[in-house]
C-alpha cells in the first residue's frame, strides 16, 4: 500500500513536471514540499536596513508585464540594494498568465520566485494551501510600514482568516472619467446612473472632441476577451444587484450560494455593457484597458471607466491631451435594484435602497483590489525576510506617496494619508481643483456604505477570469442573447460551486462579506 | 601433463566474454539514446494522456490529480465544452442535407471503387473505413456550423486555417517560384526578398498584422477613410477576423512553399522540356505534362510538413484578435492554451489529444496520397 502511494506520488510528480517542462521550459526538480504549517518570522522585519543585512541575497519577484506596476519595482530595486545589499530581479508575464504561473511554480515545488506581486483576491487560493507566507508577524513588528495608515478596506482585502498575507502597493477602485469641457459644451451633467451614462455617450458620440476635425467616441470601455472585461461588467452590475450595504455582496445569494446572474439586474448590466460599444471605437471588442485608456488620454473619448490611473496620467502634458479637462466621479448607479426573491428589478425607495443618494443606488466596485506583494512560503528564511523587506520598502509612505501620484507606475492611493495630503498631488502637477475632484471620486467610493468588494473565494479565478470572460466574449460578439449569456453563466458557476463543495464555498463567501 | 584444459578454459572464457560483449555493445551504446528518447518523447505523451483523464486541484502543500475517466473528452463532445470545441450546430435544412448527401455519395463511390478492386487487404480496408468515417463526420460538422445560423467550434476553425491557408500558400508559392526560375532581371534579389517573412518570428508577424488591420490608427487608415470605412473593423465579424489571420499566416508561410518549389523546379531535367519545346508544346502543356508530374512528390511532402505545422497555429489569433470576436478565431492549440491558463490541465490535455488525433488522421491521408502519387509518377 505504501509503495503504491509512493508510486502514485512519483507518477503525479513526473506528470506535472513534464507538463511544466513542455510549457515553461523550466525544469521542475523536486516534489512539492510536504504540507507546510504557516512558518514564523524569525526576526524583526528588516525595513530599517542601513546595515546591508541582506548582502549576497538575490530575490526574484514575479508580476505582470509592465510598463505599469513592474516599473516602480524595477526603478526602486537598485535603491533597495544600496540600502540592504539584496539584489532584486523582477520577472514579468502577461496578466492573463500570472495566476497560472504563480500556482504552477508553487505547487510543483519549483519555487523559482521568492515573492509575487499579484491580485490580493487570489490569497484565498494560496493561503489555505500553505503556498504563501503569513505576514502578520512581520507586519506587527514593522513600524516603518505604518500599517494603520493603510485604508481599512485594503487592510482587510489583503488578509485571510484574520492574518495578513499580502502587502498592498496599490489601491484599486473603478471610477468613471469624463471630459469636463465636452459635457459643459453640450450642456450635459456627469452621469449619475448607467442610463445617464448611455445618454451622455450617445449625445457626444461622433462629435469632434480633440479638435482634429474628425468624429470621436462617446464611450471607451475595454471589451477584449482575455483582458479585463469581467471587472467592467461587475462595475456596471453591482448597483443593480447590491443595495443593502457592503456585506450583502453582489455575486451569490448568501442563502444557498446560487449565482446572482440569471435575473433582470444582471441582464440589464449585460445590455448596458454591450450598448456602450455602440458609442465606442469600431474595434472596441478587441481593445484592452491600455487601448481605451490611450484613447481617452488622446482626447478621443467623452467617457471612460477605469481605475485610478487616469487621474495622474491625465496631468502629464507630454502624453495627455486632456490636462485639466478630466473629471472623475464614482461609478454611476441605478434607480432600480434587484429583488432577490423574485429576480425582478424594483424601483428604489427607502427600503429597497437604504443608501441611495437622490434616489440613485450606488455600489462602487473595488475591482481587483490593487496590486499586492506576497511571499513564497517555501523559500529559505533569509529569502522570505528579504522579500518581505522589499515589499514593505515599496509600501512605506516614503516610496509609496511618491509613486501613487505618478501615472506610469500604475499604483493608486491606498493610504489614508494619501487622500488627506492633497498638497502632494498638487506638487505632482495636479491643479488644486483636479486633485480635489480626483481624490473625492476615490474617497466617495471608499467611504460608501454600499461598496462592492471583488470576489474572494476559492476558485474565484475560474468563476471570473475563465467562465465569465468566455461567456462575456461570446455575448459581446453577438453569439449569445442576453438570456442565453445569463443562463450559461448561471449554469457554469453552479457547476464550479458544486464541484468545489457548495457549503464550503458559501461559508467562504459569507466570511468575506463579514456575515456569519 | 595435459595442459589443453588450462589453455582452453581462458580461451573459452574470453570467447564467452567477447561474444557477450559483442552482443551487448550495440544495446549499451544505443541505450542512452533510447532512454533519452523515451523520456523526452514517449513519456510526456503517456503522461499527458494520463493528465487528460484527471482533474487538477490545489491541495495543502501542493496539488492533487483526481482520476475522472473520460469526463474531459465527454465534455468536449457533449458537455460544457461542446459548443466551444465542435461549434453551434444549425438545424437541418434542404441545403445541408443536399451538401451532406453529395459528400456521402462521393465517399460511397470511393469505398465502392476499393471494393471493386481485387487487391483488398485488412489494413487497407480498415484504413479506408476510418478515412470515410472521419471525413463523413468532419463534413457533418462543417455543413452544420459553416452557415445558416451555425457557429464554428475550435476544431472547424482549425480546419479552415489549415486547408484555406495551405491552399493559398501553395498556389502563391508555386506562382512565385515559376516566376523566379524564369530568366528575369533581379530574380536573385526577389528570391531573398520573398524569403524574409519566413524569417520573422510569428508573434512579430502577428503584431505587424494587428497594426496593419487597425482601421482607426493603422498605416492604411487613409485608405479605409477614402472608402468610407471608418466604422469598419476587421475584428468585429468572425469571417473578417479569420480572413485577417489567414492573410497573416499566408504571408508568413508562402516563402516556405516558394523556396522548396524553386529548388524542385530548378532540379528537373531540361532535356524533356527542350524536346517538348522543339515538338511545339506551349508553356501550359509543358507545365501540365512535364513540370507538374515532376514536382508532385516534392509538393506532397511540402504540404504534409505545412499541414502538421499549420494545425498548431496559435500566435496569430492570440495576438491579433485575442481569439475573438467571442471564440471565432480560436484554434485548437489556443483552446488548449486557454484551458491550461485556467489550470484545467485535464481539459487542456484532452484538447491537445484531439489535436493529435486530427493531425495524425489528416497526415495519414496525405502520406497515402503521396505514396500513391509517387508510384504513379514513377
Q: Which long-range contacts (CB under 8 A, 24 or more apart) does A509-514 make?
A: A509/A249, A509/A251, A509/A252, A509/A254, A509/A257, A509/A457, A510/A254, A512/A124, A512/A249, A512/A453, A512/A456, A512/A457, A513/A246, A513/A247, A513/A248, A513/A249, A513/A254, A513/A453, A514/A246, A514/A247
d(CA A375, CA A432): 39
| Chain A contact present for B352, CB below 8 A | no
- Please determine, for residue B288, whether its predicted confidence score (pLDDT) is greater than 80: yes
Interval B39-87: pLDDT, tens: 888 888 899 999 999 998 877 767 888 999 999 999 999 887 888 999 9
In 3D space, the residue among A425, A419, A384 whose CA is nearest the CA of residue A153 turns out to be A419
Contact: B50, A461; criterion CB under 8 Å: no
pLDDT tens digits, residue range A94-145?
A: 887 888 888 888 888 888 999 999 999 889 888 888 899 999 999 999 999 9
Residue B162 in any domain: the answer is yes
Q: Which residue of A has its CA nearest to B62?
A: A107
pLDDT reported for residue B157: 95
**What does the radius of gyration of chain B's CA atoms come to, in whole angstroms?**
28
Which residue range is the domain that position B11 belongs to? 1-36
Three-state SS at A148: helix
Kindly tell me if the per-residue pLDDT of A285 is higher than 60: yes
pLDDT of residue B79: 80
Give B362 to chain A, closest Cα distance, Å.
24
Residue range A297-317: mean pLDDT, rounded: 92
Tell me: do B25 and B160 sit in the same domain: no
Is the separation of the CB atoms in A454 and A509 below 8 Å? no
Task: Give the integer Cα–Cα distance in Å for B176 and B190.
Answer: 10
Contact B151 A130 (CB under 8 A): no
Residue A27 pLDDT greater than 70, yes or no: no
Q: How confident is the model at residue B209 (pLDDT cuts 50, 70, 90)?
A: very high
Host H or E run for residue A178: strand A175-179
CATH of the domain at B208: 1.10.3720.10
What mean pLDDT is predicted for residues A434-455? 88
Under the banding of pLDDT at 50, 70 and 90, the label for residue B168 is: very high
- pLDDT computed for residue B377 by the predictor: 56
- Nearest residue to B334 (alpha-carbon basis) of B306, B359, B315: B315
What is the SS3 assignment for A29?
Answer: coil
Contacts of B323 in chain A (CB under 8 A): 225-226, 473
Contact list, B216 vs chain A (CB under 8 Å) = 281-283
Neighbouring-strand partners of residue A373 = A117, A167
What are A66's three cell numbers?
509592465
Q: Cβ of B322 and A14 within 8 Å?
A: no
Alpha-carbon span B285 to B295, nearest angstrom: 15
Q: Is the pLDDT of residue A9 over 80?
A: no
The three cell numbers locating residue A274: 454591450
Contact at CB, B216 and A282, closer than 8 angstroms: yes
**The pLDDT of residue B98:** 92
Give a yes or no: residue B66 inside a domain: no
Pair (B192, B321) in one structural domain: yes
**Which residues 6+ apart lie within 8 Å of B62 measured at CB?**
A31, A32, A33, A35, A107, A108, A109, A129
Q: Can you point out the beta strands (E) in chain B?
A: 54-59, 62-67, 87-88, 151-152
Model pLDDT, residue A361? 97
Rounded CA-CA distance B354/B364 in Å is: 15
Identify the bridge partners of residue B55 per DSSP, sorted by sequence position.
B66
Question: Does the pLDDT at position B4 exceed 60?
Answer: no
pLDDT recorded at residue A34: 34
**B308 pLDDT more than 50:** yes
Report whether pLDDT(A39) > 50: no
Question: How many other β-carbons are positioned within 10 Å of the β-carbon of residue A480?
Answer: 22
Is A138 exposed, middle or buried, given 0-12, 13-18 or 19+ CB atoms closer than 10 A? buried
Q: Tell me what percent of chain A is helix, strand and coil, each rounded to the nearest 5.
A: 45, 15, 40
Interface check for B52 against chain A (CB to CB < 8 A): the answer is no
The per-residue pLDDT for B19 is 83
Please report residues of B whose CB lies closer than 8 A to that of A11. Answer: 50
Q: What is the pLDDT of residue B130?
A: 87
- The region that residue A266 occupies, defined by phi over 0 for left and psi between -120 and 50 for alpha, beta otherwise, is alpha
| Predicted confidence (pLDDT) per residue in B258-269, tens digit | 999 999 999 988
**Nearest chain B alpha carbon to A488:** B80
* Residue B32 located in a structural domain: yes
Q: Is the dihedral of CA B293, B295, B301, B302 positive or negative?
A: negative
- From chain B, the residues in CB contact with A495 under 8 A are 80
Which helix (DSSP H) or strand (DSSP E) does residue A73 occupy? Answer: helix A70-84
A307/A177 Cα distance (integer angstroms): 10
* Residues B107 and B243 both lie in one domain: no
Is the confidence at residue A257, as pLDDT, over 90?
A: yes
pLDDT confidence band for B365 (50 / 70 / 90): confident
Residue A201 in this model has a pLDDT that exceeds 80: yes
How many Å apart are CA A146 and CA A139, to the nearest integer?
Answer: 9
Inspect the interface and report whether the beta carbons of B51 and A14 lie closer than 8 Å. no
Query: How large a percentage of chain A has pLDDT more than 90?
Result: 63
Of A31-35, A224-228, B162-166, least confident by mean pLDDT is A31-35
Give the CATH fold of the A42-172+369-414 domain. Answer: D-Maltodextrin-Binding Protein; domain 2 (3.40.190)
Q: How many domains does chain B have?
A: 3
CA B259 vs CA B194, B201, B299, B374: distances in Å: 9, 18, 12, 21
> Is the model's pLDDT at B17 over the cut of 90?
no
B323 φ/ψ sector (left φ>0, alpha ψ -120 to 50, else beta): left
A353-361 mean pLDDT: 95
How far apart (Å, rounded) are the C-alpha atoms in residues B80 and A111? 34
B345 → chain A, closest CA residue: A19
The residues near B207 (Cβ < 8 Å, ≥ 6 apart) are B319
Does residue B98 sit in the same domain as residue B219? no
Which pLDDT belongs to residue B378? 54
Whether residues A107 and B63 touch (CB distance < 8 A) is answered with: yes
Q: Is the peptide bond before B69 cis (omega within 30 degrees of 0)?
A: no
Confidence of residue B370 (pLDDT cuts 50, 70, 90): confident
Which three cell numbers mark A481?
442573447
Q: Provide DSSP, A237-265.
A: HHHHH--S-TTT-SSB-TTT--BTTSSHH
B260 and B119 in a common domain: no
Nearest residue to A298 via CA among A274, A327, A325: A325
What does the alpha-carbon distance between residue A44 and residue A389 come to, in Å, rounded to a whole number?
10
What is the residue-averaged pLDDT of chain B? 88
Sheet strands (E) in A79-143: 87-93, 115-118
Residues B136 and B24 both lie in one domain: no
In a shared domain, residues B12 and B161: no
Residue A23 has pLDDT above 50, yes or no: no
Cα of B340 to nearest chain A Cα, Å: 8
Predicted local confidence at residue B373, as pLDDT: 62
Q: Chain B partners of A279 at a C-beta cutoff of 8 Å?
A: none
Q: Are the beta carbons of A104 and B326 separated by less than 8 Å?
A: no
Distance in Å, alpha carbon of B147 to nearest chain A alpha carbon? 13
Q: A224, B324: Cβ pair inside 8 Å?
A: yes
Average pLDDT in the A433-448 region? 85
Nearest to A76, CA basis, from A384, A316, A390: A390
pLDDT for the residue numbered B107 = 92
Q: Please give the pLDDT value at position A16.
A: 42
Cα–Cα distance measured from residue A161 to residue A512, given in angstroms and rounded to the nearest whole number: 9
Best mutation site among A14, A208, A285 for testing chain B: the one with the most B CBs within 10 Å? A285
CB atoms inside a 10 Å sphere around CB A382: 18
Spatial CA neighbour of B55 closest among A12, A31, A2: A12
Q: Is B252 helix (H, G, I), strand (E, B) or coil?
A: helix
Cα B114–B116–B121 angle (5° rounding)? Answer: 50
Q: Measured between alpha carbons, how far is A368 from A121 in angstroms, rounded to an integer?
A: 7
Domain boundaries in chain A? 42-172+369-414
Task: Specify the range with the lowest mean pLDDT, choosing from A271-280, A301-310, B8-17.
Answer: B8-17
To 10 degrees, the CA torsion angle through B211, B212, B215, B216? Answer: 40
**Of B58, B231, B321, which has the smallest distance from its Cβ to A129's Cβ?**
B58
- pLDDT tops 80 at residue B179: yes
Q: Which residues of A touch B88 (CB under 8 A)?
A: 479
Average pLDDT across chain A, whole number: 87
Give the pLDDT mean for B342-347: 87
Residue B265 lies in a domain: yes
Taking a C-beta distance cutoff of 8 angstroms, is the pair A476, A485 a contact? no
A129 neighbourhood in chain B, CB within 8 Å = 58-62
Look at B234 and A104 and tell me if their CB atoms are within 8 Å.
no
- Would you call A100 and B322 a contact, using CB atoms and an 8 Å cutoff? no
B164 lies in the same domain as B201: yes
pLDDT at A7 over 60: no
Q: Please state the pTM of the whole predicted model.
A: 0.81
Average pLDDT value for residue range B143-149: 85
Instruction: Check pLDDT > 90 for residue B316.
Output: yes
> Which of B149, B175, B192 is the C-terminal boundary of a domain?
B149
Residue of chain A minimizing CA distance to B149? A479
* Element at B333 (helix H, strand E): helix B332-341
Give the C-alpha separation, B178 to B166, whole Å: 18
Q: Indicate whether B298 and B315 sit together in one domain.
A: yes
Q: What 8-state DSSP symbol labels residue A31?
A: P
Question: How far away is chain B from the Cα of A410, in angstroms, using its nearest Cα?
Answer: 23
For residue A128, the chain B residues in CB contact (below 8 A) are: 60
Return the SS3 of B311.
Answer: coil
CA nearest B45 in A: which residue? Answer: A18
pLDDT digit string (tens) for A147-192? 999 998 899 999 988 899 999 999 988 999 999 999 999 999 999 9
Residue B13 pLDDT grade (very low, low, confident, very high; cuts 50, 70, 90): confident
pLDDT value at residue B72: 94
CB A334 within 8 A of CB A193: yes
Facing residues of A89 across strands? A60
Does B102 reach chain A within 8 Å, measured CB to CB?
no
- Rounded distance, CA A448 to CA B351, Å? 46
Instruction: Return the number of other C-beta atoms located less than 10 Å from residue A50's C-beta.
Output: 8
Residue of B nearest to A8 (CA): B65
For residues B351-376, give the mean pLDDT. 83
User: Do A283 and B236 lie within an 8 Å CB cutoff?
Assistant: yes
**A285 vs B325: CB contact, 8 Å cut-off?**
yes
CA–CA gap between residue A332 and residue A219 (Å, rounded): 14
The number of beta carbons lying within 10 Å of the beta carbon of residue A76 is: 17
Tell which wins on pLDDT, A233 or A500: A233
Angle at B52 between CA A3 and CA B249, to 5 degrees: 140
CA-nearest residue of chain B to A111?
Answer: B62
pLDDT of amino acid A2:
44
Q: Are residues B328 and B372 in the same domain?
A: yes
User: β-strands A58-64, A115-118: how paired?
Assistant: parallel
Residue A239 and residue A75: Cα distance in Å, rounded? 39
CA B81 to chain A, closest CA, distance in angstroms equals 11
Q: Check residue B233 and report its DSSP letter.
A: -
The predicted complex's ipTM stands at 0.75
For residue B81, the cross-strand partners are none
- A39, A136 Cβ separation under 8 angstroms: no
B328, B242 Cβ separation under 8 angstroms:
yes
Amino acid at each position: 500500500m505504501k509503495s503504491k502511494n509512493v508510486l502514485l506520488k512519483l507518477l503525479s510528480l513526473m506528470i506535472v513536471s513534464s507538463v511544466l517542462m513542455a510549457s515553461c521550459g523550466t525544469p521542475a526538480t523536486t516534489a512539492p514540499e510536504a504540507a507546510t504549517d504557516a512558518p514564523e518570522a524569525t526576526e524583526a522585519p528588516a525595513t530599517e536596513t542601513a546595515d546591508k543585512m541582506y548582502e549576497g541575497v538575490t530575490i526574484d519577484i514575479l508580476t505582470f508585464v509592465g510598463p505599469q506596476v513592474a516599473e516602480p519595482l524595477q526603478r526602486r530595486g537598485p535603491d533597495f540594494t544600496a540600502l540592504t545589499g539584496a539584489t532584486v530581479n523582477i520577472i514579468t508575464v502577461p496578466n492573463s498568465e500570472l495566476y497560472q504561473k504563480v500556482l504552477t511554480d508553487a505547487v510543483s515545488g519549483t519555487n523559482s520566485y521568492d515573492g509575487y506581486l499579484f491580485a490580493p483576491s487570489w490569497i484565498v487560493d494560496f493561503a489555505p494551501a500553505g503556498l504563501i507566507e503569513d505576514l502578520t508577524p512581520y507586519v506587527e513588528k514593522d513600524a516603518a510600514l505604518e500599517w494603520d495608515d493603510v485604508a481599512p478596506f485594503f487592510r482587510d482585502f489583503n488578509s485571510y482568516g484574520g492574518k495578513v498575507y499580502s502587502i498592498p502597493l496599490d489601491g484599486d477602485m473603478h471610477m468613471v472619467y469624463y471630459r469636463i469641457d465636452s459635457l459643459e459644451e453640450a450642456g450635459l451633467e456627469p452621469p449619475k446612473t448607467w442610463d445617464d451614462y448611455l445618454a451622455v455617450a450617445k449625445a457626444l458620440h461622433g462629435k469632434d472632441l480633440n479638435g482634429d476635425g474628425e468624429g470621436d467616441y462617446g464611450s471607451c470601455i475595454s471589451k477584449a476577451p482575455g483582458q479585463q472585461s469581467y471587472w467592467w461588467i461587475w462595475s456596471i452590475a453591482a448597483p443593480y444587484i447590491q443595495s443593502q450595504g457592503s456585506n450583502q455582496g453582489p455575486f451569490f445569494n448568501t442563502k444557498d450560494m446560487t449565482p446572482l446572474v440569471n435575473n433582470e439586474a444582471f441582464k440589464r448590466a449585460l445590455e448596458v455593457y454591450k450598448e456602450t460599444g455602440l458609442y465606442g471605437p469600431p474595434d472596441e471588442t478587441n481593445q484592452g484597458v491600455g487601448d481605451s485608456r490611450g484613447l481617452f488620454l488622446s482626447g478621443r473619448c467623452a467617457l471612460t471607466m477605469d481605475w485610478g490611473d487616469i487621474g495622474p496620467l491625465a496631468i502629464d502634458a507630454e502624453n495627455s491631451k486632456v490636462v485639466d479637462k478630466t473629471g472623475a466621479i464614482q461609478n454611476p448607479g441605478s434607480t432600480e435594484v434587484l429583488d432577490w426573491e423574485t429576480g425582478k428589478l424594483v424601483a428604489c425607495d427607502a427600503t429597497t435602497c437604504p443608501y441611495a443618494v437622490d434616489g440613485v443606488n450606488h455600489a462602487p466596485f473595488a475591482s481587483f483590489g490593487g496590486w499586492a506583494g506576497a511571499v513564497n512560503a517555501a523559500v529559505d528564511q533569509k529569502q522570505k525576510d528579504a522579500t518581505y523587506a522589499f515589499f514593505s520598502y515599496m509600501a512605506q509612505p516614503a516610496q509609496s506617496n511618491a509613486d501613487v501620484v505618478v501615472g506610469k507606475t500604475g499604483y493608486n492611493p491606498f493610504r489614508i494619508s494619501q487622500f488627506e495630503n492633497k498638497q502632494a498631488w498638487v506638487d505632482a502637477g495636479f491643479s488644486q481643483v483636479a486633485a480635489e475632484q480626483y481624490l473625492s471620486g476615490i474617497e466617495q467610493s471608499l467611504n460608501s456604505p454600499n461598496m462592492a468588494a471583488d470576489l474572494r473565494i476559492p476558485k474565484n479565478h475560474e468563476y471570473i477570469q475563465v467562465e465569465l470572460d468566455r461567456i462575456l466574449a461570446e455575448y459581446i460578439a453577438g453569439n449569445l442573447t442576453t438570456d442565453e449569456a445569463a443562463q450559461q453563466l448561471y449554469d457554469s458557476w453552479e457547476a464550479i460551486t458544486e464541484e468545489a463543495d457548495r457549503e464550503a464555498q458559501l461559508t467562504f463567501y459569507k466570511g468575506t462579506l463579514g456575515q456569519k | 601433463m595435459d595442459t589443453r584444459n588450462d589453455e582452453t578454459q581462458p580461451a573459452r572464457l574470453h570467447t564467452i566474454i567477447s561474444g557477450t560483449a559483442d552482443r551487448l555493445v550495440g544495446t549499451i551504446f544505443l541505450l542512452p539514446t533510447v532512454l533519452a528518447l523515451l523520456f523526452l518523447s514517449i513519456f510526456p505523451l503517456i503522461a499527458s494522456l494520463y493528465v487528460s483523464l484527471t482533474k487538477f486541484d490545489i491541495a495543502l502543500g501542493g496539488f492533487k490529480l483526481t482520476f475522472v475517466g473520460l469526463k474531459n473528452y465527454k465534455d468536449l463532445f457533449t458537455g460544457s465544452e461542446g459548443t466551444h470545441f465542435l461549434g453551434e450546430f444549425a438545424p437541418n435544412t434542404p441545403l445541408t442535407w443536399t451538401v451532406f448527401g453529395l459528400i456521402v455519395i462521393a465517399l460511397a463511390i470511393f469505398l465502392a471503387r476499393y471494393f471493386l478492386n481485387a487487391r483488398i487487404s485488412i489494413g487497407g480496408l480498415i484504413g479506408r473505413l476510418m478515412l470515410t468515417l472521419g471525413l463523413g463526420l468532419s463534413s457533418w460538422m462543417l455543413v452544420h456550423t459553416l452557415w445558416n445560423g451555425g457557429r464554428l467550434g475550435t476544431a472547424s476553425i482549425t480546419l479552415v486555417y489549415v486547408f484555406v491557408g495551405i491552399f493559398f500558400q501553395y498556389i502563391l508559392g508555386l506562382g512565385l517560384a515559376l516566376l523566379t526560375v524564369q530568366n528575369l532581371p533581379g530574380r536573385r534579389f526577389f528570391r531573398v526578398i520573398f524569403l524574409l517573412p519566413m524569417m520573422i518570428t510569428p508573434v512579430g508577424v502577428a503584431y505587424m498584422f494587428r497594426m496593419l488591420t487597425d482601421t482607426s490608427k493603422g498605416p492604411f487608415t487613409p485608405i479605409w477613410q477614402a472608402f468610407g470605412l471608418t466604422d469598419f473593423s476587421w475584428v468585429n465579424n468572425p469571417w473578417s477576423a479569420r480572413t485577417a489571420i489567414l492573410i497573416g499566416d499566408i504571408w508568413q508561410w508562402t516563402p516556405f512553399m516558394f523556396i522548396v518549389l524553386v529548388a524542385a523546379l530548378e532540379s528537373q531535367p531540361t532535356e524533356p522540356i527542350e524536346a517538348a519545346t522543339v515538338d511545339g508544346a506551349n508553356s501550359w502543356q509543358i507545365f501540365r505534362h512535364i513540370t507538374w508530374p515532376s514536382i508532385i512528390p516534392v509538393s506532397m511532402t511540402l504540404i504534409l510538413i505545412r499541414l502538421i505545422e499549420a494545425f498548431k497555429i496559435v500566435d496569430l489569433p492570440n495576438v491579433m484578435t485575442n481569439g475573438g470576436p467571442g471564440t471565432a478565431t480560436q484554434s485548437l492549440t489556443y483552446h488548449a492554451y486557454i484551458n491550461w491558463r485556467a489550470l484545467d490541465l485535464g481539459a487542456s490535455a484532452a484538447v491537445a489529444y484531439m489535436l493529435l488525433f486530427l493531425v495524425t488522421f489528416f497526415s495519414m491521408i496525405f502520406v497515402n496520397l503521396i505514396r500513391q502519387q509517387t508510384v504513379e509518377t514513377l
